[in-house]
A = this chain, B = another copy of it.
Amino acid sequence: MENVAIIGASMTQFGQRDGWVRDLLAEAGTACLDDAGVSPDAVDHLYVSNMASGEFEGQTGVVNALVHDLAAMPAYTARIDQTSSSGGAGVKHAWQSVASGASDMTLLVGGEKMTHRTTAEATDVIASLTHPVEYKHGVTLPSFAGLTARLYLDTYDAPRESLGKVAVKNHRHGVDNPHAQFQKEVDLETVLESPIVADPLRLYDFCPITDGSAALMFCPESVAREYTDDYVVIPGIGGATDTHVVHERADPTTMRGVVESSRIAYDMADMGPEDVDVAELHDMFTILEFLQSEDLGFFEKGKGWKAVEEGRTERGGDLPINTSGGLKSKGHPLGASGVAQVYEIYQQLMGDAGKRQVDADTGLACNVGGFGNCVITTLMEAN
């Protein structure tokens, strides 16, 4: 089977945006067509990663809107929803449409419009993905994060400060990302003294509510060569799930979806964690960066926090994590986030990451849906 290539990418400014999700999708989609040098009528499959345009905006059928706005009819289109990992799921479906031979050119656009709703409203829409039993008891995703952080710190004898250092690092990285919602450093004291949200986690342990969109262009490697000499391929991709009811997990400090999805991706690519030079992880909450960095095999279980303390995941470290600023500083427009992770790795592997550039031939993106309910791990290599 031929490799699946990525030949173009785009992302909009993340943050508080005017317009509706259809406007953001059209902006990113148009920019991606331009970046790839592909005309709309060459696109035969168009996917939209989006969790909840109906709930947030009262607008469904956003794929119909986008195919129309890009003048890409009669391209096939569908919306891919896997809650907060909808973007990563979209990457998998785009890979499948090309790898199956159904598509010679698939455009994936992820996006979400959220900031017109209050934080309470947005949190409630997101919490509707949890199990009804847990939802009824008010256990939103931030409260799961607080419980898990407490368990992690106790189990692995990690200092509270180590969580804060994830936020400090990712904000520092975000300073050099012109698309990030926050382009400013924060110091450890600010993080540790910010208001408590879900003890022990505080305001700066959480990603913000964000509007934004990102897009990627996929095709078979043979088609990619018709467009460009430089592109990125996907040697492995995997998706996996964990229990819907979080309290049923034997060890909530291990995310089975991360373990299994990365195993599938590594096996497909005949690679291991030691081959990864740069990674984008789903730091919706600071604690999640520890869990993923361990469950992906980068660091020993219970030692992810030490890697952060030692600066190994900084831009200058041996395994830079979240060079984009991560969800923490770049922002987290649900359906866009997994697409924007792959956008960042694409920029790094193409050597187009500007001030954020690190030395990397192989990258990994890990997108987490719900509280680890569904996870997509994508491996990428420069051609």
Contact A83 B54 (CB under 8 A): no
Interface size on A, residues (CB 8 A): 60
- For the complex formed, measure the closest distance between the CB of A46 and the CB atoms of chain B, giving whole angstroms: 8
Interface residues of A in 254-281 (CB under 8 A from B): 256-257, 260-261
A311 CB within 8 Å of chain B: no
Contact A54 B241 (CB under 8 A): no
Q: How far is the CA of A162 from the CA of B75 in the complex (A)?
A: 33
Q: Which listed residue, B51, B59, B75, B82, touches A132 by the CB 8 Å rule?
A: B59
Q: How far is the CA of A305 from the CA of B175 in the complex (A)?
A: 65
Contact B370 A73 (CB under 8 A): no
B-side contacts of A60, CB under 8 Å: 51-52, 55, 81, 83, 125, 128-129
The 10 A-B pairs at the shortest CB distance, nearest first, are namely A61-B129, A76-B239, A68-B244, A99-B100, A74-B240, A100-B100, A64-B373, A79-B81, A74-B260, A96-B100
Interface residues of A in 185-243 (CB under 8 A from B): 237-243
- Given A99-B102, A373-B64, check contact A76 B92 (CB 8 Å): yes
Q: How far is the CA of A54 from the CA of B69 in the complex (A)?
A: 25
B-side contacts of A79, CB under 8 Å: 80-82
B-side contacts of A240, CB under 8 Å: 73-76
Contact A54 B128 (CB under 8 A): yes
Q: How far is the CA of A93 from the CA of B238 in the complex (A)?
A: 15
Which residue of B is nearest A54, CB measured? B55
Which residue of B is nearest A72, CB measured? B241
Contact A244 B65 (CB under 8 A): yes
B-side contacts of A1, CB under 8 Å: 100-101
Q: Which listed residue, B64, B83, B132, touches A374 by the CB 8 Å rule?
A: B64
A89 CB within 8 Å of chain B: yes
Contact B54 A373 (CB under 8 A): no
B-side contacts of A373, CB under 8 Å: 61, 64
- For the complex formed, measure the closest distance between the CB of A109 and the CB atoms of chain B, giving whole angstroms: 14
